[in-house]
Amino acid sequence: MKYENDPGRYWWKEAIVYQLYPRSFKDSNGDGIGDLQGIISKLDYLQNLGIDVVWINPIYASPNDDNGYDISDYRNIMKEFGTMSDFNELLDGLHKRNLKLVMDLVVNHTSDEHEWFKQSRSSRDNPYRNYYHWWPAEKGKPPHRESFFDENGRAWQYDRKTKSYYLHIFSVKQPDLNWENPKMRKEIYEMMKFWFDKGIDGFRMDAITYIAKDDSFPAFTEDEIRKQYGEWSGYYASHPWLHKYLNEMNRQVLSKYDIMTVAEGPGVSVEEAHKIVDPSRHELNMLYHFEGMGIGYVPGEFKRVDPNGYDLVKFKEVYTKWSDAFVTKGWGTIYLGNHDQPRMVSRWGNDSPEFKSPSAKMLITFLFTMHATPFFYNGDEIGMSNIRFDKISDYRDIESRNMYQHIKKNKGNVKRFLENQKESARDNSRTPFQWNGSEHAGFTCGAPWIKVNPNYPECNVEAQEKDTDSILNYFRKMIKVRRTHTALVYGSYHLLDKEHKQVYAYVRTLGDEKFLVVLNFSRERVAYKTPPNFLLGENILINNYRGLTKYEDKIQLQPYQAIVAKAAAG
Ligand code: NOJ
């Protein structure tokens, strides 16, 4: 099939990805923790959403220091989640419903309870020693490296047994694997084949750019270290070796299966992204960037969302840049939330009772009309919002808990930190999925591992199923629109009025098909002049309000109104 720009059709370009956080999705056995049988009981719900791919966060054996991102056995299932036979049933159930399964691949680090690490730390001449990064104490203290989840912010941990330090860019229980060791790489590839041979449909590659680092560990100057705050990726990750590893992984594993791969790419530039996703380089299919996620934070303070909101002009600039980046080569992704971010509607829309529904729908419209594979996070489809915990004891996330301790130890302002976390903490998006209005939102019959958002009596699947005007039904409608109009997938993207402070408008074109998307990102009414060839009337495909006011050559947009209109022929 020939298309403008001829990007080549692939199922993963046309797919709608739904990220499922297993710990919080559905508990089947009353222990308060979501599990595989819980997901199995909701397979029809997933199918009825109209999505294509489920990306599930790690479900491998893990002591759960970082909710499964610390894996102690890559070939087994976490006890709390079930067994391998549950997994087989889940995969089978998804495939029977024409849904694909993408798993998380966490190979920058393992758990310190993984057998490889137990061996590695046991003696300096153990065959597994080189599976990790060690710095012998006789060389003096290793050059400073920051750690994401360490209370003291230090990524080198002294290990008395062998009088050496090991590296952990994440928590002290997540030692970094040494990718320069070909034996270790081979074991990872074998493990990947194990899952592909079971029939999974792809991997989302966790912290993948971190696998390649300068393992001579040069010292950084004070200035460089200061600059690293929040931007360590540039220093610690994406060493040119990354491409050697990914290319080898592609040759030995990925190229042998019809699967999709997506890299997590914090700090990755457009140029670097191209090196990873350009098909001629034979590395990965897609990457998700963090540039959008970084908008609207106050610089110099840990995750403080600017109370004055974010700059839409900047937002448009970033998403336009990333859309334009893949016009001729490679392919992008688009998302506005996940398990590491606060809730999409709270962060980018407006979760007040008045505006939650229109703003959630508007954001859904945005994700479904961009030139990229859209990724939704479970709960977005019903407008789940931030829980905003008051107390540190309510948090379960290692990031929030350890940062709190870090700030406290350094006599910082913990009160302010807790205020900031209300808008930015990862646990905002990890609260239990809201199925219905019964106790614990129908997530569990036991005590949930983390509090349920008290808004569940109004915000839940059961209520929204019944309401034709609900966010959930709008989400389904948008899926149909994207599926019916290939222009919304492959069509070119042209930004209009880039300096407009409230409206994000663009045109998507493929052959004779042309669509105008107009999104009011503000809580105000805005008069907006549409281009002349769009007869806004019978050509409106999507409108998140009942009507649309027009006068002269303008439309009067309601707060967070979203319109998708087809250009009149001719
Ligand atoms: C990124 C994951 O998305 C996050 O949840 C995790 O804490 C880190 N990588 C470490 O694996």
Catalytic residue among 206, 291, 380, 397: 206
- 315 SS3 class: helix
Quote the percentage of the chain above a pLDDT of 70: 95
Mutational test site, ligand 1, from 24, 111, 170, max ligand atoms within 8 Å of CB: 170
CA-based angle 177:180:185, to the nearest 5?
65
Please report, as a single letter, which amino acid is at residue 535: L
The answer to whether residues 412 and 301 touch, using CB atoms and an 8 Å cutoff, is no
The answer to whether residues 416 and 295 touch, using CB atoms and an 8 Å cutoff, is no
Q: What is the pLDDT of residue 3?
A: 42
User: 90 in ligand 1 pocket by Cβ < 6 Å?
Assistant: no
- For residue 57, CA distances in Å to 14, 22, 72, 205, 227 come to 22, 7, 15, 11, 31
Tokens 């939704």 -> residue? 376
Q: What share of the chain is helix, strand, coil (3-state, %, to 5)?
A: 35, 20, 45
State yes or no: pLDDT of 538 exceeds 60: yes
- Report DSSP letters for 225-272, one per residue: HHHHTT-THHHHS--THHHHHHHHHHHHTGGGS--EEEEEETT--HHH
Strand pairing partners for 517?
Answer: 506, 564
Q: What is the pLDDT of residues 363-415, one digit of tens each?
A: 999 999 999 999 999 999 999 999 999 999 999 999 999 999 999 999 999 99
State yes or no: pLDDT of 2 exceeds 80: no
CA nearest to 500, candidates 480, 477, 466, 527: 527
Mutational test site, ligand 1, from 64, 104, 206, max ligand atoms within 8 Å of CB: 206
CA nearest to 193, candidates 60, 75, 61: 75
Report the pLDDT averaged over residues 117-133: 98
User: 25 in ligand 1 pocket by Cβ < 6 Å?
Assistant: no
CA nearest to 41, candidates 81, 80, 96, 90: 90
The answer to whether residues 519 and 530 touch, using CB atoms and an 8 Å cutoff, is no
Which position has the higher pLDDT, 276 or 235? Answer: 276
Q: What are 238's two structure tokens? A: 């994406």
Strand pairing partners for 334?
Answer: 374
Among the listed ranges 110-119, 123-132, 299-308, 467-476, which one has the minimum average pLDDT value?
299-308
Instruction: Give dist(CA 120, CA 112) in Å, integer.
Output: 10
Among the listed ranges 63-67, 535-539, 550-554, which one has the minimum average pLDDT value?
535-539
Q: Exposed e or buried b for every residue in 251-290, given b needs 16+ CB within 10 A?
A: ebbbeebebbbbbbbbbbeeebbbbbbbeebebbbbbbbe
Is 427 one of the catalytic residues? no
Q: How many CA atoms lie within 13 A of 548 on its CB side?
A: 27
Catalytic residue among 151, 176, 264, 351: 264
State yes or no: pLDDT of 552 exceeds 90: no
The answer to whether residues 101 and 36 touch, using CB atoms and an 8 Å cutoff, is no
Consecutive H or E run containing 223: helix 222-228
State yes or no: pLDDT of 5 exceeds 60: no
Tokens 């004891």 -> residue? 393
CA nearest to 332, candidates 115, 113, 10: 10
Ligand 1 closest atom vs CA 338: 3
Instruction: Count CB neighbours of 359 within 10 A.
Output: 29
Mean residue pLDDT of the chain comes to 94
Instruction: Count CB neighbours of 148 within 10 A.
Output: 18
Q: How far is the CA of 93 from the centre of ligand 1 (A)?
A: 27
Q: What is the pLDDT of residue 153?
A: 85
Q: What are 405's two structure tokens? A: 């301790």
Tokens 């020939």 -> residue? 2
Q: What is the pLDDT of residue 230?
A: 45
Is 248 one of the catalytic residues? no
Q: What is the pLDDT of residue 1?
A: 35
Closest CA to ligand 1's atom 10: 69
Residues 6+ apart with CB under 8 A from 552: none
Strand pairing partners for 77?
Answer: 60
Q: What is the pLDDT of residue 144?
A: 87
User: 52 in ligand 1 pocket by Cβ < 6 Å?
Assistant: no
Q: What is the pLDDT of residue 58?
A: 98
Consecutive H or E run containing 426: none
- Report DSSP letters for 51-82, one per residue: -SEEEE---EE---TTTTSS-SEEEEE-GGG-
List alpha helices for 333-428, DSSP H: 344-348, 356-368, 398-409, 414-424
State yes or no: pLDDT of 280 exceeds 90: yes
Q: What is the pLDDT of residue 239?
A: 84
- DSSP letter for 488, please: H
Instruction: Give dist(CA 287, CA 58) in Å, integer.
Output: 18
Q: What are 332's two structure tokens? A: 């992008």
User: 69 in ligand 1 pocket by Cβ < 6 Å?
Assistant: yes
Ligand 1 closest atom vs CA 207: 9
Residue 229: which pLDDT band, with cuts at 50, 70 and 90? very low
Report the pLDDT averaged over residues 305-327: 97
The answer to whether residues 527 and 546 touch, using CB atoms and an 8 Å cutoff, is no
The answer to whether residues 60 and 74 touch, using CB atoms and an 8 Å cutoff, is yes
Query: Is the overall model pTM greater than 0.85, yes or no?
Result: yes
State yes or no: pLDDT of 311 exceeds 60: yes
Instruction: Count CB neighbours of 70 within 10 A.
Output: 27
State yes or no: pLDDT of 246 exceeds 90: yes
The answer to whether residues 245 and 211 touch, using CB atoms and an 8 Å cutoff, is yes
- 377 SS3 class: strand
Q: What is the pLDDT of residue 313?
A: 98
Ligand 1 closest atom vs CA 70: 11
Among the listed ranges 17-21, 229-233, 549-553, which one has the minimum average pLDDT value?
229-233
Instruction: Give dist(CA 516, CA 466) in Å, integer.
Output: 30
User: 170 in ligand 1 pocket by Cβ < 6 Å?
Assistant: yes
The answer to whether residues 401 and 392 touch, using CB atoms and an 8 Å cutoff, is yes
Q: What is the pLDDT of residues 111-124, one digit of tens each?
A: 999 999 999 999 99
Tokens 């490296």 -> residue? 145
Mutational test site, ligand 1, from 65, 69, 427, 429, max ligand atoms within 8 Å of CB: 69
User: 290 in ligand 1 pocket by Cβ < 6 Å?
Assistant: no
Ligand 1 closest atom vs CA 426: 5
Longest dimension (CA), the chain: 80
User: 65 in ligand 1 pocket by Cβ < 6 Å?
Assistant: no
Q: How far is the CA of 518 from the centre of ligand 1 (A)?
A: 34
Q: What is the pLDDT of residues 139-166, one digit of tens each?
A: 999 998 888 898 888 999 999 999 999 9
Q: How far is the CA of 379 from the centre of ligand 1 (A)?
A: 19
207 φ, ψ (degrees, to nearest 5): 45, 35
Report the pLDDT averaged over residues 307-317: 97
